[in-house]
Amino acid sequence: MVENADRPDSSSAEVHILFNGYARDGDTPTISYVASTIGFIRDGNARVIIDPGMVPSTVSILESLAALGEVPTNITDVVFSHHHPDHTLNAALFPNARFHDYWAIYKGDTWESREAEGFHLSPSILLIATPGHTPQDITTLVGTHEGTVAFTHLWWFAEGPAEDPLADDLDALHANRIRVLQVASLIVPGHGAPFTPDETTPR
C-alpha cells in the first residue's frame, strides 16, 4: 500500500460551500428538519455539485451559485455521497450534468457502470468508496492549493455524532473515518459546516 494513495492526482481545484446543512427534531415525533451541506467545485472545465439535496427552497442553491458567477446549465457533474433523499432531492436542477454515485455514471438515458473507488472525475477530484452510513456511501477527495478537502457523510457535523444512529455498518464507518483522516485537511460533513479535523474529531 503506497502512503497517501488516496490523494487526487492534482491540486488545482477551487472549493465553495453553497449551503450549510442541518438536522434537527421537529415539534412532533414524525417531523424533522433536515438540509444537506451542498458543495461546489471548479477544476479546469469541470463544474461539480456535491449532494444537491434537501434545502428550505431551491433559491438557497441557485443564489449561492449565481454569486459565484455560475448558472445551473454550466454544471458538468453532480456527485451523490449516497442515495438518501436529503442528499439527492434537487438533482434535476442541473440538466447538463453527469451524475455520479458508488457504482455508475448517469446522463440522459445512459447508465455507465463503474466503481467509484479510485475514479478521477477530474485531475483534482477523486472518488473513493467509504461505506458505513449506507453500503452505497462514497467520499469525494478534492485537491486544492490548501490541501485535500473531503466531502463525506462519514460525519454529520464536526462533533459527530460519534456513533451514527442510522449507520448500516459501524465497523466500516469507523475504518473509513480513519482512512479519510489520513488524507483530509478539511472535512465537509453531510449536514454541518466544514471543519478542520483534530484529535477531538470522532474516529
Give the residues lining the site for Zn ion (CB under 5 A). Answer: 84, 86, 190
Give the residue nearest to Zn ion (CB): 84
CB of 53 to Zn ion, least distance (A): 7
Residue 23 · residue 33 · CB < 8 Å: yes
Q: Give 160's DSSP letter.
A: B
Rounded to an integer, what distance in angstroms lies between the CA atom of residue 115 and that of residue 70?
29
Annotate 42-70 with DSSP letters as a single string.
Answer: EETTEEEEE-----S-THHHHHHHHHTT-
**Cβ distance to Zn ion smaller for residue 8 or 132:** 132
Q: How far is the CB of 153 from Zn ion (least distance, A)?
A: 6
Cβ distance to Zn ion smaller for residue 44 or 135: 135
Amino acid at 33: Y
Spatial contact of 202 and 177, defined as CB atoms under 8 Å apart: yes
Indicate the residue among 32 and 96 with the shorter CB distance to Zn ion. Answer: 32
Minimum distance of Zn ion from residue 3's CB (angstroms): 31
Nearer to Zn ion (CB atom), residue 70 or residue 86: 86
112 membership: H or E segment, kind and range: strand 110-113
Closest approach of Zn ion to the CB of residue 120, in Å: 25
Nearest-approach distance from CB 94 to Zn ion, in angstroms: 20
Pairing of strands 77-79, 119-122: unpaired
Query: Based on CB atoms, which residue is closest to Zn ion, 35 or 75?
Result: 35
The DSSP bridge partners found for residue 151 are: 140, 188
